[in-house]
Chains A and B, each alone.
Chain A
Amino acid sequence: MSEFQKAMQVATSGMIAQNVRVRVISQNIANAESLASNPGGDPYQRQTVSFKNAMDRASGVEVVEVGNIGVDHTAFARKFDPGHPAADANGYVLLPNVKPLVEMVDLRQAQRSYEANLRVVDVARTMIARTIDLLR
């Protein structure tokens, strides 16, 4: 496998990793108001994605992998809502620890990373194509 193809393989792994990140962000944003259904339960807990590098044996390049999808252990906020099924004795309901603004910034960052990897694939492909064009 030539160096260009290895570059494209690594960039593809980066794009797939960013796909997972966008999926987790979309889960967080969609469930930003998902409360528990009974007083003892917990609301939606924000998920986080961690990446790690891994050595691909076949081509000897460092690709990126999703390390694990963990949960954020920040404390839950509380809202006063006595009529809710999940309200405790004092009438407070636990809210998910998702901040939509943080998620939107993370989404923007994921988009930038994805576009950077896409640019690497594009540049590598253009370089190979122009080299082949020398023969025409």
Chain B
Amino acid sequence: MTVSLTTAINAYVDAVKSANPGAGDAAPAQTPGSGFADLMKSIGEDAIAAGTKADQMSIAAVEGKANVAEVVTAVANAELALQTVVAVRDQVVQAYQEILRMPI
């Protein structure tokens, strides 16, 4: 894998944050837009933390200092966090596109 998990998660979070202002403007009430933004922010932060830990554990494993069980658990956590971010991003982008399709 040439791209680290942290880079991938950062890229997804940035993509969603740039898509979010559109969803916030189109919705009439403030709460749905800000709800999505807060959700993505919290999930993104958790995912970035998990990704950083997984990267550190992988480097420690290459040096021979980490236990294989800890490395596997950290990488599994990071992978699940990334999947969560991707799934929520897909739903958010889908909702944004639905709103865009609304006739004026």
Bound together, the chains give a CA A84 to CA B83 distance in angstroms of 65
A135 to B95, CA, bound (A): 13
Over the window 32-62 of chain A, the binary record of Cβ atoms lying under 8 Å from chain B Cβ atoms (1 yes, 0 no) is 0000000000000000000000000000000
Instruction: Report how far A12 CA is from B88 CA in the complex, Å.
Output: 28
Is B31 in contact with chain A by the CB < 8 A criterion?
Answer: no
Whether B39 sits at the interface, judged by CB under 8 Å, is no
Nearest chain B residue, comparing its CB with the CB of A4: B80
Residues of B within 8 A of A12 (CB): 69-70, 73
Task: Kindly state whether residue A73 has any CB partner on chain B within 8 Å.
Answer: no
Q: Which residues of A contact B76 (CB under 8 A)?
A: 8, 121, 125
A129 touches B69 (CB 8 A): no
Residues of B within 8 A of A121 (CB): 72-73, 76
Which chain A residues lie closer than 8 Å to B87 at the CB level? 132-133, 135-136
B91 contacts which chain A residues (CB < 8 A)? 135
A27 at the interface (CB under 8 A from B): no
Q: Is residue A128 contacting chain B, with contact meaning CB distance below 8 A?
A: yes
Interchain CA distance A9-B67 in the complex, whole Å: 13
Cβ distance B92 to chain A, nearest Cβ, rounded Å: 11
Interface residues of B (CB under 8 A from A): 67, 69-70, 72-73, 76-77, 80, 83-84, 87-88, 90-91
The 7 closest A-B pairs by CB, nearest first: A135-B87, A15-B69, A12-B73, A12-B69, A132-B83, A128-B80, A8-B73
